[in-house]
Amino acid sequence: MRRGDNGLPHNCAAVTAGTASSRGRRNVARFTPAMGVPGWLRQAGMALLLLCCLLSSLCATPPDLEITGVTQARAGAAKVVTVRFRCRDAEGNPLNLALLASADGGATWNAVPVRLLSGDRGMTTTDVWRGGSLVWAAGRDWPEQVSTQMQVKLTAEELPLPPTTLAEFARIPKGSFTMGNQEDDAEGSFTEQPPHTVQVSEFYMGKCEVTRALWDRVAMWAVAHGYEFQNEGRAKEWYHPVYGVNWFDVAKWCNARSEQDGRQPCYLDSGSVFREGQPEEVTCDWLANGYRLPTEAEWEKAARGGLTNQRFPWGNTIDHDRANYVSTFLLRYDKSHSFGYHPDYREDGLPYTSAVGSFPPNAYGLVDIAGNAWEWCWDWFDSYPHSAQVDPHGHGSGVRRVIRGGSYADNASYCRVAARNSRDPGAWGGASSDCVGFRLAIMTP
C-alpha cells in the first residue's frame, strides 16, 4: 500500500494526543517524572494529570475522514492511558481504529499490545458522529518502554465498501415447489406440516446475509435522513453477518437503502414510508421495487435451490465443509468429522459467525442459507395451510415473526430447509440475540 509523508496509508487519518509547549501546541503526550518533589505534591500532580484533557490535531488526508475531540489521562503505577475521541466518515464507511505508541519521542511507532487494551476498538460510524474510548494499561503491558519519551497516537483507517450492484443478488426463477417437511415427520416440528404446493413469482434474493459493514453504511445515511433505529447492530467482524437487530429496525433499514439507491420503499406505516417507531401494523407495497425481507415461501424456495425432496440446500446430508453449525452424532444425516461447534469459528470454546461466503453456494448462488445466522422473514409465524397457494404473504397479524436457516449455535436439524422458528419482532426479539440477521429480496433489478 502506498503511504504518505506521515508513514500512514493515504486512506488513514491520525491524531496524537499532546500538550502545549513554549513553541506552540504539540501533538504528542509524554509521561512526566515526579522525582525530587514532596509526596503530597506528587499526589496532587497525579490527580491533576488524571483530569487533564489534552487537545489534538488531525492529519490533512483524507479531507472527509475526521477524528476530533481526542483527550487522554494517565494515573497510577499501571500508567493507564485513556484516549477518548469522536470520529466520523462522511461517506459512511466503517472505520478501523488503532492505538500506536512510541518509546523514542515519535521517531518510530509500534502497535500497542492488545493484551491489556480495552474499550471501543473497531468502532463504526452509525451516526454522523460516533465516539468512544481506548484504555491501555501501559505500565503493565509495556513496562520497559514507558518513559518521559513515550508518546501515543490514535489512527483510523476507513474500509471502503464496493458499490451496490445487482451482482449482490441471485435470480430466483418462478415456479412451484413443495413447502414443508417432506422427510420423516419425527425430524422436525409439527409446524412444518403439512407439505403443500406453493407457486412463487420470479424475484431476486441477496446472495449473502447483510454484513455489518453494509448495515453501518446505510444506517449512517438513514439517521441523517429522518430514520430512527433502536438497535445499532453488532457483528464479529465487518464482513460477517450483522446481528442484534430487531425486525422493525431491519424493515426501516430496507426502506432507507431503497431511498439511498433511488428505489421505491416497500414498507409503510399508515400509508407513509416507515421510518421510526414500532407501529402495530406495518404494511408492504408488493409492487414497489425497493429492498425488503423475503416472504417465508420465497425464502424456502430460494433455499432449496431448485432441488426436490432434499433436507438441505445441496442434498440430504450436512457437514462442516458445507456450513457453520453445531455438529452432533445423534442425527443420522449429520456427517461431519468434527464434533460440536465448527472448529474454524470458535474462540476459547465459544462459537461465532463466519465471514459471508465462507462456504459453497447452493444451485441458485446463495451462500450461508443454512447455518451462520438465522434470517428474518416478512411473515407472522402461524400454522401452514392445507391447500395450494400462490405468492403467499403469510397471516395478517400475529405475535412473532418467522426466522429461517439456523445458525452457528444450532444443530443440523435447524439448518434443514423446512425448519421454522420465530422471534418477537420488537426490541428484544433480535437485539438480544447474536444469532439473528437477515438477507434482502427485490422484485426487479
SS3 content of the chain, % helix, strand, coil (to 5): 15, 30, 55
pLDDT band at 29 (very low <50, low <70, confident <90, very high): very low
73 — pLDDT class (breaks 50, 70, 90) = low
Quote the pLDDT of residue 432.
67
Q: Which residues contact residue 161 at a Cβ distance below 8 angstroms, ignoring those fewer than 6 apart?
A: 93, 94, 213, 214, 217
Strand, helix or coil at 16? strand
Contact assessment for residue 215 and residue 376, using Cβ atoms and an 8 Å cutoff: no
Does the CA dihedral 186-189-191-192 come out positive or negative? negative
Q: How much is the pLDDT for 269?
A: 97
Under the banding of pLDDT at 50, 70 and 90, the label for residue 190 is very high
- Asked if 251 and 281 count as a contact pair (C-beta separation under 8 A), the reply is no
Q: Answer with the residue of higher pLDDT: 208 or 113.
A: 208
Alpha-carbon torsion angle 384, 387, 392, 395, nearest 10: -40
**Do 313 and 305 form a contact (C-beta atoms < 8 A)?**
yes
Evaluated on CA atoms 230, 253, 435, 93, the torsion sign reads negative
Position 258 pLDDT exceeds 90: yes
Distance CA 130, CA 216 (A): 12
pLDDT of residue 433: 79
Of 118-122, 334-338, 432-436, the range with the highest mean pLDDT is 334-338
Residue with the larger pLDDT of the pair 142 and 362:
362
Provide the pLDDT for residue 48: 32
Is 254 in contact with 266 (CB distance < 8 Å)?
A: yes
Is pLDDT larger for residue 29 or for residue 103? 103
Tell me the three state secondary structure of residue 254: helix
Q: Which residues contact 441 (CB under 8 A, 6 or more apart)?
A: 203, 204, 205, 206, 291, 292, 293, 294, 295, 298
Between residues 39 and 228, the one the model is more confident about:
228
What is the model's pLDDT at position 188? 84
Pairing of strands 267-269, 401-404: unpaired
Q: Please indicate whether residue 292 or residue 127 has the higher confidence score (pLDDT).
A: 292
CA-wise closest residue to 205 among 61, 121, 278, 306: 306
In this prediction, residue 90 has a pLDDT band, given cuts at 50, 70 and 90, of: low
Average pLDDT over residues 175-187: 88
Q: In this structure, what C-alpha cell is assigned to residue 218?
A: 446505510
Residues of the chain above pLDDT 70, percent: 70
Q: Which of 336, 328, 337, 320 is nearest to 371 (CA)?
A: 320
Rg of the chain over Cα atoms, rounded to whole angstroms, equals 26
Distance CA 132, CA 198 (A): 50
Q: 3-class SS at 371?
A: coil
Alpha-carbon torsion angle 299, 423, 409, 331, nearest 10: -70
pLDDT at 385 over 50: yes
- Residues 356, 367: Cα–Cα separation, whole Å: 7
Each residue of 306-355: pLDDT tens digit? Answer: 999 999 999 999 999 999 999 999 999 999 999 999 999 998 889 999 99
Average pLDDT, the chain: 79
**Sequence-separated (6 or more) residues with CB below 8 Å from residue 229:** 126, 219, 222, 223, 249, 252, 253
CA dist list (Å): 89 to 96, 156, 267, 350: 11, 10, 28, 33
- Any alpha helices (H) in 22-150, and if so which ranges? 39-51, 138-141
Instruction: Give the DSSP H or E segment for 75.
Output: strand 65-75
* pLDDT confidence of residue 21: 27
CA 156 to CA 93: how far, in whole Å? 11
Sign of CA pseudo-dihedral 245, 250, 256, 259: positive
How far apart, in whole angstroms, are the C-alpha atoms of residue 301 and residue 389?
A: 13
Three-state secondary-structure class, residue 137: strand
Q: How confident is the model at residue 422 (pLDDT cuts 50, 70, 90)?
A: very high
Per-residue model confidence (pLDDT) at position 75: 59
Q: Which of 37-46, 159-168, 180-189 has the highest mean pLDDT?
A: 180-189
* pLDDT grade for 11, boundaries at 50, 70 and 90: very low
